[in-house]
Amino acid sequence: MVNKPAGLPVYPGRAGGASVEDFFPLWRRGKTGPWLVHRLDQDTAGCLLIARKKAFLLEAQALMAEAAGKSEKIYWAVLRGVPRGSAGEINAPLAKITEGKRWRMAVAVDGQPARTLWRLLGVHGGNALVEFSLLTGRTHQIRAHAAQFGHPVLGDPVYGDGQGRMCLLARKLVLPLAEPVVATAPPPPHMAGFVEACLGTF
């Protein structure tokens, strides 16, 4: 498990620059691997699971698959504004919409099922710290659902106003393997002050 910094892509991009995969030779055991068990958006910080052995890769991916539903994936986000209520579920299917060279995920009746649980953690300066639990694993699920919710992730360049850095953290990952995988990531520097103002400690 690594704590991926916000702004670092997991795969090498066309524009060049560093990526998580650049570090794979340092982590390699044997002739192949390691492998990414899952992915995080470039601007999302936090828990990223990497497999050094193929057997672990397959077992971990099976647990994280929607059909298995046995993994726990918790995210923290700073949202623009404050949602009504203290907790709930967003159940809104998502489909990929392409507009020229750009694409995004949008709520669509014929989209893939997408379910996200949310819980309000705190409020500061008119914005909210919200915990999200993924029940499905669609691309940009939290970001698209938060926007559909009427409170996009602060700094989101696709679903929000894009002002400042995106405030989304893969906070916790739990996999019930024979040797359980449990990891928790601290808020990145650009989120830490807001989280502290809401929670006092983390």
Predicted pLDDT of residue 108 = 95
In this predicted structure, the answer to whether residue 139 has a pLDDT above a threshold of 60 is yes
Q: Say if residues 153 and 146 touch (Cβ distance below 8 Å).
A: yes
When the pLDDT of each residue in the chain is averaged and rounded to a whole number, the result is 92
**Class in CATH terms, 2-199:** alpha beta
Q: Is 90 exceeded by the pLDDT of residue 100?
A: no
Give the ranges where 49-91 is alpha helix by DSSP (H).
54-64
Domain ranges of the chain: 2-199
Q: Which residues contact 197 (CB under 8 A, 6 or more apart)?
A: 122, 124, 125
Residue 80 near residue 193, CB atoms below 8 Å: no
Q: How far apart are CA 49 and CA 10, in angstroms?
A: 11
Question: Could you tell me the pLDDT band of residue 70, with boundaries at 50, 70 and 90?
Answer: confident
User: Within 10 Å of residue 23's Cβ, how many Cβ atoms?
Assistant: 14
pTM given for the model: 0.93
Please determine, for residue 66, whether its predicted confidence score (pLDDT) is greater than 70: no
Q: What is the pLDDT of residue 64?
A: 82
Residue positions annotated with a catalytic role: 41
Question: Which among 167, 141, 166, 173 is positioned nearest to 37, based on CA atoms?
Answer: 173
